[in-house]
Amino acid sequence: MIDIKDLKVGQRLYVVQKEFERGIHRRELDKVIKTRVIKAGRRYVTVNAEGFVETFDSHKDFKIENGRGKMKCGLYLCAQDYLGELAKEDLLKEVRGFFDTYNSREYELISLEDLETINEIIKKYQLR
């Protein structure tokens, strides 16, 4: 996670340009571009790499949408941060699929102890 206060001019960051084919994200086509910070403010940061100049908003989690609700590009401290974000998306999809009542009812086999653990995790992240 990037904190705008920690960014300095000249710092190396990574921009990931997401590629879509027929509206579907194709991870293997994504481009990871090494960039340098050329301007850092209280809210915005501007990066430049080989003619690629882009300004990212910290209030939008350093992501830029393509106008159709999908991420066009994002700014990361390292390429591993992007891979972690993809892994999180995959795990969330698995969890949603497991609890989807239309697919199966396997979740009814979860033990009481495991349900209590899941419940504690959910409570930790619920908005109050």
What confidence tens digit (pLDDT) does each residue in 46-84 have? 999 878 899 999 999 999 987 777 788 999 999 899 999
pLDDT confidence of residue 20: 83
Burial class (CB in 10 A: 0-12, 13-18, 19+), 16: buried
Hey, is 2 helix, strand or coil?
coil
pLDDT confidence of residue 112: 92
Q: Are strands 31-40 and 24-25 parallel, antiparallel or unpaired?
A: unpaired
Q: What are phi and psi of 102, to 5 degrees?
A: -80, -25
pLDDT band at 102 (very low <50, low <70, confident <90, very high): low
Residues 62 and 83: their CA atoms lie apart, in Å, by: 16
pLDDT confidence of residue 68: 73
Q: Could you read off the pLDDT of 21-33 as tens digits, one per residue?
A: 887 888 899 999 9
**Mean pLDDT of the chain, nearest integer:** 88
pLDDT confidence of residue 105: 73
